[in-house]
């Protein structure tokens, strides 16, 4: 199954490609939940993973300058 037709600009991004048959998406919770529902309805295996860190690249964009400044001081 191809994932590309699914994230359609609704707040979900492809975060990582783990293998030929496994990938991770990130984004707004409501958008990830909607994508999971669509994938499940189409017969794709998917599950939510819980992380102790933020894995939402575009959601973190506003804090990147402050983060870079903090890292530069280390």
Backbone angles phi, psi at 63, to 5 degrees: -95, -5
Question: Which comes out higher in pLDDT, residue 56 or 23?
Answer: 23
pLDDT at 60: 81
**Of the candidates 53, 58, 43, the residue with the CA atom closest to the CA atom of residue 12:** 58
On the question of pLDDT at 55 being above 70, the answer is no
pLDDT band at 4 (very low <50, low <70, confident <90, very high): low
Q: Determine how many CB atoms are found less than 10 A away from the CB of residue 29.
A: 10
- Of 16, 14, 19, which is closest to residue 31 (Cα–Cα)? 14
Instruction: List residues bridging with 7 in a β-sheet.
Output: none
pLDDT band per the 50, 70, 90 thresholds, residue 65: very high
């Amino acid at each position: 199954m191809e994932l590309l037709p699914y994230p359609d600009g609704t707040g979900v991004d492809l975060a990582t490609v783990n293998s030929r048959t496994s990938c991770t998406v990130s984004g707004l919770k409501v958008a990830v939940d909607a994508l999971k529902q669509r994938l499940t309805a189409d017969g794709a295996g998917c599950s939510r993973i819980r992380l102790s860190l933020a894995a939402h690249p575009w959601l973190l964009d506003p804090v990147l300058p402050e983060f870079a400044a903090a890292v530069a001081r280390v």
